[in-house]
Chains A and B, each alone.
Chain A
Amino acid sequence: MARMKFLCDTERCIECNGCVTACKNENETPWGVNRRRVVTVNDGVPGERSVSVACMHCSDAPCMAVCPTDCFYKTEEGVVLHNKDACIGCGYCFFACPFGAPQFPNGPAAFGARGKMDKCTFCAGGPEENGSKAEFEKYGRNRLAEGKLPLCAEMCSTKALLAGDAPVISDIYRERVMRRGKAGEAWGWNTAYGKPEQAAPAAKEAAK
């Protein structure tokens, strides 16, 4: 079974926002809900770098640990998904997440009134039937079920953003690092994937 991960190569990202636009287009998320964002540091001065950030689908996901209604679940491919029907909009996951991934349609409103949490699904939908209308309306496209990878990485013009099976994308990255002759740790990997994988990922069925 594959272990799906994201990797953003900060030496390559040109802050074009192609990934952000691809995500909005594919999942039809509303204005103000950004599953993916590009962050730039040292803007306009030497050393400027950009990185494209969304949910990293952590090995030992803090969001899962803190959710009071246990709405998160993990697929066999390591993708962290959640069940909007169970979400009460408390915002705990947002505070726990090291990447600022969880989004709330009503912004920073009070408890409950924030609306159901929304985040990157690795283009893998949610608990509803794969590819169903209900799944699309709540979670967006289920590309993984169609044998496709997330659209953000597929559309990245510089291939800074990689998505896929961990050994495959780390090999691509290792080869780049070797060619550049410059060591560099993949951005965010230690935080997201530094801990051992949560035991026994629950299958989609089990979460229902």
Chain B
Amino acid sequence: MLYHIFKNGWEDKAYIDARVFGLDKVKAEVMTWTPERVQDVTGIPEAEVLRIAEMLAKNKPSTVVWCMGQTQHTVGNANVRAMCILQLVLGNVGVSGGGTNIFRGHDNVQGATDVGPNPDSLPAYYGLAAGSWKHWCKVWGVDYEWVKSQFASQAMMEKSGITVSRWIDGVLEKNEAIDQDSNLRAVVYWGMAPNSQTRGLEMVEAMKKLDLLVVIDPYPSATAAMAAMMRKDGVYLLPACTQFETSGSRTASNRSIQWGEKVIEPLFESKPDHTLMYAFAKKFGFEKELCKNIKVNKDKQGWDEPEIEDILREINRGAWTIGYTGQSPERLKLHMKNMHTFDVKTLRANGGPCDGDYFGLPWPCYGTPELKHPGTPNLYDTSKHVMDGGGNFRANFGVERDGVSLLAADGSASKGAALQMGYPEFDHVLLKKLGWWDDLTEDEKKAAEGKNWKTDLSGGIQRVVLKVYGCHPFGNARARALVWNFPDPVPLHREPMYSPRPDLVDKYPQPDDKKVFWRLPTLYKSLQTKVRDISKEYPLIMTSGRLVEYEGGGDETRSNPWLAELQQEMFCEVNPRDANNAGFRNNDFMWVETPTKGRMKVRAQVTERVAPGTVFLPFHFAGWWQGKDMLEYYPEGAAPIVRGESVNQGTTYGYDSVTMMQETKTTLCRVTKA
């Protein structure tokens, strides 16, 4: 699409000149992708690509929506950057109705990500450097040295961990090959579905080898059944309650936050996550440190329950980077009570007690709650004042690269900013240089000395920069089309690990294997070369994804009779041509076999939804294993109503070269009549 946009001069030149870095290198690569070459690799004819490119170029603004279809590939990082570049080239970023919208799979995934489950960062994307730890220790009110003493070494404390996609290798990999002392010996599955992860056949081997497996979930889940198939002891089930049985804030994909009230008391013996966390901390002897700033109450059964509002207040006190600071529980609750005062198009309150706020105070909602920042409905929008939810691109990578400025061009700052030019991020030095230091109060000065906009706990730096001077605390820079610190600075096509086209593997190979990547050796080229011709045995492309009736691993939703009735069996979508060639009909049982030696017995759904040569399987099913019902492995009365083969028994090895995201969206298989 970019090829046609550049060729026809449809790009937004003024926008690119003022706000984008490194596009020339991207353009050079793009222009080598002639329509013939595109059709050869993707199968999509020129007319179709041109039609969509023209539609986007001539109907602005427009937004691009994706979910996991872009990300769960070895080249996921390149795919998503390509989408962002497309939107930058069209000038569609930072405008109402534009942008890229990456939909989250369920309630509060965005919120979970923001508070730091990723193994390379503390909450709010602060990273793991010593300075980041010191910042959070101050927020938590605990001694940095004490926290450090909890780790084997400072090196371990600051080293990115193993990602969830690879935990099985943390168990199974040879000890000398991994970048930590011990292999993984204990695993806690906390609201996570094993059947949403690839390489299921190896996963049960890893489960067998563990010393300890803990499952914390509203349902025993496929984890428990898979483990029970492999072992008789060392697996513990802890009942967690659902979001309806507790209260708290939830963040949606658009970064807006809603306060949820408890609908019913927790059922049976279940407890909310924070109660379970506190109970663990108490057993391990650090519950005081865990809840230094958080009130602890007794629940109805006498368990200690940390106060949810205080937890959010602690996040508010520390998460300056993303502006998760202004959304106090009081402000969020006020929004929920006054929903009717918000305009459904602008999302802005028009009068009433929340006047001027955007619904749910989408982050960044900078400064302290008292600053009354209204939240940011669209990121990077220069047409608005920063105190009206405006913004610009972040200066996160210095001010210059290879002699070219990384800062935005003159005249391209947010509306009303005192600095109408590109500028770096703010710290105490810059504030003093600009003569803005004396706008801080005496107390703020004390807190801000030696700090920057994301470590000043008083919020003074943010207040002065935003409110007094209308500037953005994180600076005003260009969006990077060229990401020099990634393995492919310009997004490149690379054939999937398991490709149906050996000729394309030769032309677009994976990079070399990595010896240490998120603590693990990771295969790329060596594996791809080894399986170069495997499509002779497994000729069909196999992809996987979601259904509307089920959610995630599906244990909860497949246990709900109203949903279960709508999708009663695991199935595989096959084009009529492939079904006829394999000799089965619609609704027959069929086998799907993949290079992992995974064998899945599923219903054939013969349909034009998929093109010849491709099959699709949903990933929400579990409870069958290689053709056999696993009913006996669920605790009595706890098996989901609908059980079926999980597609991820059959998905293959392959990980994104930056994020270590698993490759679920493309592998190979063969199909036969069962």
Contact = CB atoms under 8 A, between A and B. Distances in A.
Interface in B86-123: none
Contact of A31 (B548, B565, B607, B610): B565
A15 B562 CA distance: 16
A45 B562 contact: no
Contacts of A204: none
Contacts of B516: none
A25 interface: yes
A109 B609 CA distance: 35
B549 A17 contact: yes
B566 A21 contact: yes
Contacts of B566: 17, 20-21
Given A17-B549, A20-B566, A31 B609 contact: no
Interface size class of B (residues with CB under 8 A): 10 to 19
B156 to A, nearest CB: 47
Given A16-B548, A17-B548, A17-B549, A25 B562 contact: yes
B627 interface: no
Interface in A24-52: 24-25, 31-32, 43-45
Interface in B551-597: 561-563, 565-566
Contacts of A15: 548
B620 to A, nearest CB: 14
B608 interface: yes
Contact of B608 (A16, A24, A43): A43
B561 A31 contact: yes
Nearest to A37: B566
A45 B609 CA distance: 7
A64 to B, nearest CB: 29
Contacts of B563: 21
Nearest to A31: B565
Interface string B604-644: 00011110000000000000000000000000000000000
A85 B361 CA distance: 55
Nearest to B607: A44
Contacts of A31: 561, 565
Interface size class of A (residues with CB under 8 A): 10 to 19
Nearest to B608: A44
Contacts of B565: 24, 31-32
A46 to B, nearest CB: 10
Nearest to B567: A17
A47 to B, nearest CB: 11
Contacts of A16: 548
A13 to B, nearest CB: 12
Interface string A160-187: 0000000000000000000000000000
Given A24-B562, A31-B565, A45 B548 contact: no
A83 B607 CA distance: 42
Interface in A1-33: 15-17, 20-21, 24-25, 31-32
A16 B563 CA distance: 11
A44 B607 CA distance: 7
Contacts of B562: 20-21, 24-25
A28 B565 CA distance: 13
B549 A43 contact: no
A15 B547 CA distance: 11
Nearest to A16: B548
Contacts of B549: 17
Contacts of A45: 608
Contacts of A20: 562, 566
Nearest to B563: A21
A43 B548 contact: no
The CB with the most chain A CB atoms within 10 A, among B561, B565, B566, is that of B565
A43 B562 CA distance: 23
Nearest to A18: B548
A21 B565 CA distance: 10
Contacts of B561: 24, 31
Nearest to B641: A31
Nearest to B560: A21
A21 B564 CA distance: 10
Contacts of A43: 607-609
A44 B609 contact: yes
Contacts of A25: 562
B622 to A, nearest CB: 21
Contacts of B548: 15-17
B569 to A, nearest CB: 14
Nearest to A15: B548
A17 B549 CA distance: 8
Contacts of A21: 562-563, 566
B253 to A, nearest CB: 15
21 contacts: A15-B548, A16-B548, A17-B548, A17-B549, A17-B566, A21-B562, A21-B563, A21-B566, A24-B561, A24-B562, A24-B565, A25-B562, A31-B561, A31-B565, A32-B565, A43-B607, A43-B608, A44-B608, A44-B609, A44-B610, A45-B608
Interface of A: 15-17, 20-21, 24-25, 31-32, 43-45
Nearest first, the 4 closest Cβ-Cβ pairs linking A and B are A44-B609, A44-B608, A24-B562, A44-B607
Given A31-B565, A43-B607, A44-B607, 11 more contacts: A15-B548, A16-B548, A20-B566, A21-B566, A24-B562, A25-B562, A32-B565, A43-B608, A43-B609, A44-B609, A44-B610
